[in-house]
Amino acid sequence: MRHKRIMLDVLKGAAHFPPPLWMMRQAGRYLPEYRETRKRAGSFLDLCYNPDLAVEVTLQPIERFGFDASILFSDILVVPHALGRDVRFEEGRGPLLTPVNAAEISQLNSETFHVNLSPVYETVRRLRAKLPDETTLIGFCGAPWTVATYMIAGHGTPDQAPARLFAYREPVAFQQLLKVLADHSAAYLIRQIEAGADVVQIFDSWSGVLDDASFDLFCVAPVAEIVRQVKAVHPDVPIIGFPKGAGAHYQSYRQKTGVTGLGIDWTVPLAAAKALQAGGAVQGNLDPLRLVAGGKALSDGVDAILKTLGDGPLIFNLGHGITPETPVAHVEAMVKQVRGATR
């Protein structure tokens, strides 16, 4: 007998209480078992491209906490890596790439893109076979704007000034880069769905640094194109958009991109989140540092979200990824509080 994946019901607009629960970056450094697997993997990218180990770390938080959804263990930068750009991760520094210039954009290599990503598709296939039947499997990609910021700067920056400046100085080349990334990201998500993903999420971690015109052009338009292409092949598969820091743009982002669910960060006031719920499911938005702090800070944050958003379509999550210093006991407390909530 197949068990219901309640997250899929919520993404269709149904209200469930208690709501389904998962965490962004739930497979990661806060878990001792992840750290052990990571040591065996070699490099971080080796972990992403090793289906045996990627499945192992993806399942770890499901086995420990029984979350309602499992998200593929990978990274948003596998897309530029699969297009032939060098990507490496250094401890304490994060991702490092050779910055792309305008002339190199037309030379991005599409020919072996899916071949390079075949280990990721294999990981998704194995996950769907191994996960509990009631657990929703989430595939994902980075949004073109956010991926482009790393490709242009070569590393993370506080305000993505290199990418913004490149976009203003080289508008034709920048639009070409966004198109390449949108087309390949859509194809990547389609393959993940075909391998067994129930839902896909688009992470736009740096949408909050853009002005009005740039937000529409660099953030909204490429994501709308990804949604269009994915829906053309898989019209019934939900797509969650997470434009972190979008602020006043959240409402128009949902309308203009056509995403099914809206991931909201912890700066979104709950009254505003309630208004966004009128347009469909919202996901979030506990401050990750409340989870680090634990105690009253955590319980008050959880209570406020459940009280304000619990009678509508809600996927309980953090407002960004869990941080490495988070105590496991605090995650256990959060899960217990959400699961044990009553109206």
Query: 70 near 126, Cβ under 8 Å?
Result: no
Q: How many CB atoms lie within 10 A of CB 178?
A: 23
Give the torsion through C-alpha atoms of 258, 261, 265, 269, to 10 deg. 90
Rounded to 5°, the CA angle 50-51-54 comes to 80
Four-residue CA torsion sign, 58, 59, 63, 69 = positive
The question of whether 168 is a catalytic residue gets the answer no
Q: Which entry of 5, 38, 164, 191 is annotated as an active-site residue?
A: 38
Checking DSSP bridges between strand 199-204 and strand 94-97, what pairing results, if any? unpaired
Four-residue CA torsion sign, 76, 82, 85, 89 = positive
Q: Which entry of 5, 25, 85, 126 is annotated as an active-site residue?
A: 25
Measured distance CA(240)–CA(100) in Å, rounded = 29
- Supply φ then ψ for residue 70, to 5 degrees: -120, 130
**Bridge partners of residue 318, in order along the sequence:** 286
Task: Give CA 268 to chain center in angstroms.
Answer: 17
Q: Which entry of 29, 64, 88, 125 is annotated as an active-site residue?
A: 29
Q: How many CB atoms lie within 10 A of CB 225?
A: 19
The question of whether 290 is a catalytic residue gets the answer no
The question of whether 38 is a catalytic residue gets the answer yes
Q: Which entry of 9, 75, 216, 311 is annotated as an active-site residue?
A: 75
Query: 276 near 254, Cβ under 8 Å?
Result: yes
Q: Which entry of 34, 49, 150, 250 is annotated as an active-site residue?
A: 150
Q: Which residues are catalytic?
A: 25, 29, 38, 75, 150
